[in-house]
C-alpha cells in the first residue's frame, strides 16, 4: 500500500472515531512527508477535520487548495452544514463554478438536519426548475422526509408527482420514504397501496406500515402485519442456513421453485 493511501485510510478512521489530536497529528505528518500538497489529500483533510468537529481547521485547508474540484466544495459544504453553519454552506454553494447532485443533496439534507424546512423545499424546487441536475433517490428521500415533518398532504402529492415524472417508482428508498410520508400526512390508505405493490419491502417500510396499520385498522391489524414480518425474517434465516450447509445444486433443486 502506498504511503498516501495509508494516510487516506488513517484519515477516514480518524473522522470515524472523531479524534481531534489524531487529526492534527496526521496533518503534521503529511506536511513533514510532503504529501499535503495534492487536491486529493487536502479534500480528505477537509472531510477529516469536519468529521472531528474542527470546521475552522477544515476551512483553513479548503482555502489553501489552489485547484479546487467539485469534491473540494462538496466536502466543505458538508462540513459547514454538519456544524450548523448553514449561511456559510449556502454561500459556498452559490459560489461553486460547477455543481453536481451531491452538492444539491448536501445543501438540501443540511437544511433539513438543521431545521430549515422551507429552505429544504426551496432548494429541491430550484434543482427541478434549473435543470442543472436531475434529482436522484437521495433527493427524493430528503424532500419526502421534509413533507412528512410538515404533514402537508398537498405538498406530499406534488412530490409524489415529481417522483413519477422522474421515474423513481421501483426504487426501494424512494418508495419507503413515500410510505412514511403518507403515514405522517395521515393518509395510511395511500401508504398501504404503495406498500402492497413492493416486491421486497425493507425494514423501514415494514416499520412505517405497521404504524400505519395501527392508525388505519387498529392494533390487531398492526399486530398481524408484525407477525407476517416475523415469519418472513424466520423464513429468510432458515433459507440462508440451508443454502450455507447444503451443496448449491441440491439446494436449487430441492428448495428453490
Residue 170, pLDDT score: 67
The answer on pLDDT for 253 being more than 60 is: no
In-domain check, residue 78: yes
User: Residue 239 sits in which domain range?
Assistant: 223-257
How far is the C-alpha of 33 from the C-alpha of 63, rounded, in Å? 21
What digits encode the pLDDT tens for the residues 42-100?
999 999 999 999 999 999 999 999 999 999 999 999 999 999 999 999 999 999 999 99
Residue 205, pLDDT score: 84
Q: Calculate mean pLDDT across residues 131-137.
A: 85
Q: Which of these three, 66, 85, 104, is where a domain ends?
A: 85
In-domain check, residue 39: yes
Q: Which of these three, 57, 85, 113, is where a domain ends?
A: 85
Yes or no: say if 36 and 70 are a contact pair by the CB < 8 Å rule: no
In-domain check, residue 173: no
Query: What is the SS3 assignment for the chain?
Result: CCHHHHHHHHHHHHHHHCCHHHHHHHHHHHHHHCCCCCHHHHHHHHHHHHHCCCHHHHHHHHHHCCCCCHHHHHHHHHHHHHCCCHHHHHHHHHHCCCCCHHHHHHHHHHHHHCCCHHHHHHHHHHHHHHCCCCCCHHHHHHHHHHHHHHCCHHHHHHHHHHHHHCCCCCCHHHHHHHHHHHHHCCCHHHHHHHHCCCCCCCHHHHHHHHHHHHHHCCHHHHHHHHHHHHHHHHHHHHHHHHHHHCCHHHHHHHHCC
What digits encode the pLDDT tens for the residues 23-47?
999 999 989 988 888 899 999 999 9
The answer on pLDDT for 212 being more than 70 is: yes
- Residue with the bigger pLDDT between 94 and 197: it is 94
The mean of the pLDDT values for the chain is 85
Residue 236, pLDDT score: 42
The label of the residue with cell 406500515 reads: 209
In-domain check, residue 175: no
In-domain check, residue 251: yes
Yes or no: say if 62 and 72 are a contact pair by the CB < 8 Å rule: yes
How far is the C-alpha of 26 from the C-alpha of 3, rounded, in Å? 12
* Cell numbers representing residue 174 in the block: 424512494
In-domain check, residue 176: no
What digits encode the pLDDT tens for the residues 166-185?
887 667 778 888 999 999 99
Distances (CA, A) of 184 to 20, 114, 144, 218: 39, 20, 10, 16
In-domain check, residue 214: no
How far is the C-alpha of 199 from the C-alpha of 49, rounded, in Å? 42
How far is the C-alpha of 181 from the C-alpha of 147, rounded, in Å? 6
Residue 245, pLDDT score: 41
Q: Calculate mean pLDDT across residues 191-204.
A: 84
In-domain check, residue 56: yes
Q: Which of these three, 50, 85, 120, is where a domain ends?
A: 85
CA count, 13 A, side-chain hemisphere, 20 = 6
Domain count, the chain: 2
* Cell numbers representing residue 50 in the block: 469536519
Amino acid at each position: 500500500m502506498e504511503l498516501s493511501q495509508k494516510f487516506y485510510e488513517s484519515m477516514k478512521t480518524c473522522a470515524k472515531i472523531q479524534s481531534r489530536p489524531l487529526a492534527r497529528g496526521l496533518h503534521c505528518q503529511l506536511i513533514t512527508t510532503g504529501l499535503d500538497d495534492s487536491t486529493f489529500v487536502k479534500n480528505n483533510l477537509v472531510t477529516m477535520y469536519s468529521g472531528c468537529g474542527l470546521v475552522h481547521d477544515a476551512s483553513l485547508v479548503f482555502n489553501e487548495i489552489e485547484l479546487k474540484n467539485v469534491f473540494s466544495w462538496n466536502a466543505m459544504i458538508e462540513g459547514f452544514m454538519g456544524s450548523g453553519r448553514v449561511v456559510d454552506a449556502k454561500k459556498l454553494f452559490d459560489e461553486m463554478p460547477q455543481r453536481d447532485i451531491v452538492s444539491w443533496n448536501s445543501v438540501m439534507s443540511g437544511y433539513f438536519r438543521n431545521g430549515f424546512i422551507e429552505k429544504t423545499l426551496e432548494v429541491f424546487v430550484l434543482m427541478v426548475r434549473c435543470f442543472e441536475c436531475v434529482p436522484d433517490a437521495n433527493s427524493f428521500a430528503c424532500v419526502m422526509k421534509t413533507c412528512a415533518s410538515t404533514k402537508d398532504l398537498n405538498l406530499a402529492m406534488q412530490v409524489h408527482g415529481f417522483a413519477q415524472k422522474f421515474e423513481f417508482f421501483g426504487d426501494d428508498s424512494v418508495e419507503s420514504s413515500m410510505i412514511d410520508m403518507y403515514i405522517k400526512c395521515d393518509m395510511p390508505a395511500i401508504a398501504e397501496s404503495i406498500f402492497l405493490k413492493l416486491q421486497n419491502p425493507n425494514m423501514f417500510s415494514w416499520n412505517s406500515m405497521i404504524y400505519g396499520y395501527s392508525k388505519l385498522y387498529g392494533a390487531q391489524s398492526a399486530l398481524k402485519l408484525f407477525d407476517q414480518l416475523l415469519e418472513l425474517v424466520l423464513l429468510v434465516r432458515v433459507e440462508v442456513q440451508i443454502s450455507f450447509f447444503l451443496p448449491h445444486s441440491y439446494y436449487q433443486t430441492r428448495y428453490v421453485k
